[in-house]
Amino acid sequence: MSAAPAYLDSPPPDVAVAERVAADQSTRRPALLFFHSAVAWLVIGSVLGLVASLKFQFPDWLTGEAALTFGRIRTVHLNAVAYGWAGMSLVGLAVWMVPRLVRAPLYRPGLAVAAAWGWNLWLVLGLGAVLAGWNDGLEWLEIPYPIDAIVVVAGGLMAISVLGTVARRKTKHFYVSVWYVLAAMVWFPIIFATANLPVFGGVEQAAVNWWYGHNALGLFITPLALAGAYYFIPKVLGRPIQSYSLSLVGFWALAFFYSLNGIHHLIGGPLPAWLITTSITASVMMVIPVAATAVNFHTTMVGRFSALRYSPTLRFVVAGSMIYTAVSLQGSVEALRGFNRIVHFTHYTVGHAHLGVYGFASLILFGCLYFIIPRLVDWEWPSDRLIRWHFWLALGGVAIYVVALCTGGWLQGEAMLDAGRPFMDSVSLTRPYLIARSVGGTLMLAANVIFAWHYWLVVRRRGTERMEPAWSAPGALA
Amino acid sequence: MNPAAVYIIAICAAGLGVAGAAFVWAALKGEFSDAGEAAFLVFDEDDPPAGPEQGA
């Protein structure tokens, strides 16, 4: 890179500080806009998720209006949390993190701000359309494709801003988090635009639908969440990642093999067997990047686990990273034909999805926000207690939710496969597990509301001014 | 061959091409030759590793 200054990755201290300050100043407005929006969508999506869950206990509740029926409420829940909360907060994370890592101000921050407004407009119009009964009828792609054009433009503006920043980098190397962000910025537009093309029909539509649905998680949410974990675990511990080379192995293994995942959702469907087998193979091969990441995070943490007692960022990010390992291995097993035969079409899949998006990605995001927000608003989180409640309610809620649905889903699958049992057995036996689902969902909603309230307090600079970061004292966490 | 297979394999092949090109580019730029240096990019001069969440 001919434009790079001579010092490359080791600038003089005063230059490094000036570059970091400039990077932070350039990202403040767009990052805050993405985060404010994400937290609002988190609350909206969580409320709708609990409403949808409660309908399993009270099926006649809120049935007077078509917009409030299960099919629409549940759909809006999924889109609000996947694209509104996770999507916007992950993009905000990328906007904040990349300029720091490449030591260059964000390129044209106005484009990122416009992207955030566009993303919100897409969601408001799209989810309004879904509530009104207009949707594409495809899971994860329900928002009508003419409205999707808005997010394509917004995503393009976002990509110009981030890629332009990277093009003006003052570092010789890309840190692994930058690799993940760049990849997500390239992959997501490809899969989103392809899956929304109105040219597919029938079986091919189903194949493209699930190829997209799985890769929205694997090629967008996963890389951006891992980018956050690779940044904040070393950052908070004050020591570099144990094996940087291994982190690159994990990234490139994901880059080369993940995109073939997804078709295993259609095991048993009318598709060529080799196509499904290819996807199953790719899913099992994901053990390689997952193991590389898990080993790297764990060995970086060895000897430093006591830090979890006084760092909210580390506590959330490490918990999310451990769940990443668990949910990824669960996914690889779930793709195997023998296992899939039982859990397909059951609540098990719903449990798995929540373990991924909430247990893995959301916990990491919460941890990232506990670090970033005080630096953006120059005000520390006012309450240790609210952070503790947030953590335990979130972790306890998702644990109850996932254990209940995976157990109930397995029993449901066995009942459906037993030709000697009436179908209604497979429905009625899930009742206690669906109650547990609502209990877990209530705890997660409580955690999210507490976090949103605390977020409101810190961005409004409310509460007593603190000179120390929340939980900075060893042993502050009971 | 099922049209779905054609679409998906073609798109995945294109993605593989992009990933492969990026990998070759990274190798030629020396990203893997002295990669350990990059591991320290997360740290800033005014961001001491003295304790959790201290510094900028």
What is the band of B35 on the pLDDT scale with cuts at 50, 70, 90? confident
Q: At what angle do helices A222-237 and A88-102 cross, to 10 degrees?
A: 50
Contact A238 B38 (CB under 8 A): no
Identify the pLDDT of residue B2: 63
Q: What is the DSSP string of A446-457?
A: HHHHHHHHHHHH
Hey, which residues 182-201 in chain A have their CB within 8 Å of chain B?
Answer: 183, 186-187, 190-191, 194, 200
d(CA A382, CA A385): 9
Which of A157, A190, A156 is closest to B18 using CA atoms? A190
Assess contact for A436 and A399: CB atoms under 8 A.
no
Q: B-chain residues within 8 Å CB-CB of A371?
A: 53
Q: At what angle do helices B3-28 and A202-216 cross, to 10 degrees?
A: 30
Identify the pLDDT of residue A470: 66
Tokens of A313: 């960022």
Which of A103, A106, A107 is closest to A7 using CA atoms? A103
Mean pLDDT of A248-275: 89
Which residues, in sequence order, are CB contacts of B9 under 8 Å at separation 6+? none
Mean pLDDT of A264-287: 92
Which residues, in sequence order, are CB contacts of A38 under 8 Å at separation 6+? A84, A85, A86, A87, A88, A89, A92
Question: Is the pLDDT confidence value at A1 over 70?
Answer: no
Mean pLDDT of A138-162: 94
Q: How many CA atoms lie within 13 A of B21 on its CB side?
A: 8
Identify the pLDDT of residue A473: 54
Question: Is the pLDDT confidence value at A398 over 70?
Answer: yes
Q: How far is B53 from chain A (nearest CA, A)?
A: 6
d(CA A108, CA A111): 6
Assess contact for A146 and A129: CB atoms under 8 A.
no
* Environment class of B45 (CB within 10 Å of its CB; exposed 0-12, middle 13-18, buried 19+): middle
Which residues, in sequence order, are CB contacts of A65 under 8 Å at separation 6+? none
Q: Which amino acid is at B55?
A: G
Plot region of A140 (φ>0 → left; ψ -120 to 50 → alpha; else → beta): left
Identify the pLDDT of residue A387: 95
Q: A-chain residues within 8 Å CB-CB of B5?
A: 207, 271-272, 275
Q: What angle do CA A356, A341, A321 make, to 5 degrees?
A: 15
pLDDT tens-digit series, residues A164-205:
999 999 988 899 999 999 999 988 988 898 898 888 888 888
Q: A-chain residues within 8 Å CB-CB of B32?
A: 245, 248
Tell me, yes or no, if A373 comes closer than 8 A to chain B by beta carbon: no
Inter-CA distances, A282 with A172, A253, A333, A336, Å: 33, 10, 12, 11
Question: Is the pLDDT confidence value at A416 over 80?
Answer: yes
Chain B residue at shortest CA distance from A207: B4
Question: Is the pLDDT confidence value at A9 over 60?
Answer: no
Mutate to test the interface with B, among A173, A208, A279 (most CBs of B within 10 A): A173
Assess contact for B38 and A102: CB atoms under 8 A.
no
Assess contact for A344 and A267: CB atoms under 8 A.
yes
Question: Is the pLDDT confidence value at A256 over 90?
Answer: no
Q: B-chain residues within 8 Å CB-CB of A2?
A: none
Helices in A378-477 by DSSP H: which ranges? Answer: 384-417, 423-428, 431-459
Identify the pLDDT of residue A198: 81
Tokens of A118: 């566009």
Inter-CA distances, A110 with A114, A160, A233, A400, A405, Å: 6, 11, 30, 43, 44
Contact B46 A20 (CB under 8 A): yes
Residues of B with CB under 8 A from a CB of A: 1-5, 7-8, 11-12, 14-16, 18-20, 22-23, 26, 30-32, 35-54, 56
Run of H or E residues at B27: helix B3-28
Mean pLDDT of A50-78: 96
Q: How far is A251 from chain B (nearest CA, A)?
A: 11
Tokens of A198: 């109105």
What is the band of A442 on the pLDDT scale with cuts at 50, 70, 90? very high
ipTM comes to 0.81
What is the band of B44 on the pLDDT scale with cuts at 50, 70, 90? confident
What pTM does this model have? 0.92
Hey, which residues 294-313 in chain A have their CB within 8 Å of chain B?
Answer: 307, 310-311, 313
What is the band of A238 on the pLDDT scale with cuts at 50, 70, 90? confident
| C-alpha radius of gyration, chain B, whole number | 20
pLDDT tens-digit series, residues A349-369:
999 999 999 999 999 999 999
Which residues, in sequence order, are CB contacts of A375 under 8 Å at separation 6+? A24, B56
Among A128-132, A253-257, B35-39, the range scoring the smallest mean pLDDT is B35-39
Assess contact for A192 and A169: CB atoms under 8 A.
no
pLDDT tens-digit series, residues A22-34:
899 999 999 999 9
Mean pLDDT of A242-246: 92
Identify the pLDDT of residue A10: 59
Comparing CB atoms, the residue among B18, B26, B45 nearest residue A17 is B45
Which of A222, A255, A239, A220 is closest to A297 using CA atoms? A239
pLDDT tens-digit series, residues A316-354:
999 999 999 999 999 999 999 999 999 999 999 999 999
Q: How far is B12 from chain A (nearest CA, A)?
A: 6
Backbone angles phi, psi at A45, to 5 degrees: -65, -40
Q: A-chain residues within 8 Å CB-CB of B11?
A: 190-191, 194, 259
Q: How far is B52 from chain A (nearest CA, A)?
A: 5
Comparing CB atoms, the residue among B26, B40, B42 nearest residue A231 is B42
Which of A179, A195, A80 is closest to A128 using CA atoms? A80
Q: B-chain residues within 8 Å CB-CB of A171?
A: 38, 41
Identify the pLDDT of residue A20: 85
Contact A469 B53 (CB under 8 A): yes
* Environment class of A432 (CB within 10 Å of its CB; exposed 0-12, middle 13-18, buried 19+): exposed
What is the band of A448 on the pLDDT scale with cuts at 50, 70, 90? very high
Contact A172 B37 (CB under 8 A): yes
d(CA A456, CA A437): 28
Cβ atoms within 10 A of the Cβ of B44, count?
19
Which of A457, A447, A257, A278 is closest to A377 using CA atoms? A457
Question: Which residue is it, tokens 């590793």?
Answer: B49
Give the DSSP letter of residue A306.
Answer: G
Contact B35 A244 (CB under 8 A): yes
Q: What is the DSSP string of A51-66?
A: HHHHTTT-TTTT-SSG
Contact A238 B31 (CB under 8 A): no
Mean pLDDT of A382-404: 96
Assess contact for A340 and A279: CB atoms under 8 A.
no
Mean pLDDT for chain A? 92
Which of A181, A176, A172, A308 is closest to A242 using CA atoms? A176
Question: Is the pLDDT confidence value at B49 over 50?
Answer: no
Identify the pLDDT of residue A355: 98
What is the band of A266 on the pLDDT scale with cuts at 50, 70, 90? very high
Which of A183, A173, A192, A139 is closest to A244 using CA atoms? A173
d(CA A367, CA A317): 5
Question: Is the pLDDT confidence value at A228 over 60?
Answer: yes
Among A6-20, A51-65, B31-45, the range scoring the smallest mean pLDDT is A6-20
d(CA A189, CA A163): 14
Tell me, yes or no, if A25 comes closer than 8 A to chain B by beta carbon: no
Comparing CB atoms, the residue among A9, A259, A307 nearest residue B15 is A259
Mean pLDDT of B11-15: 78
Contact B49 A237 (CB under 8 A): yes
Q: What is the largest CA-CA distance in chain A?
A: 76
| C-alpha radius of gyration, chain A, whole number | 22
Assess contact for A250 and A296: CB atoms under 8 A.
yes
Contact B5 A271 (CB under 8 A): yes
Mean pLDDT of A1-25: 66
What is the band of B51 on the pLDDT scale with cuts at 50, 70, 90? very low
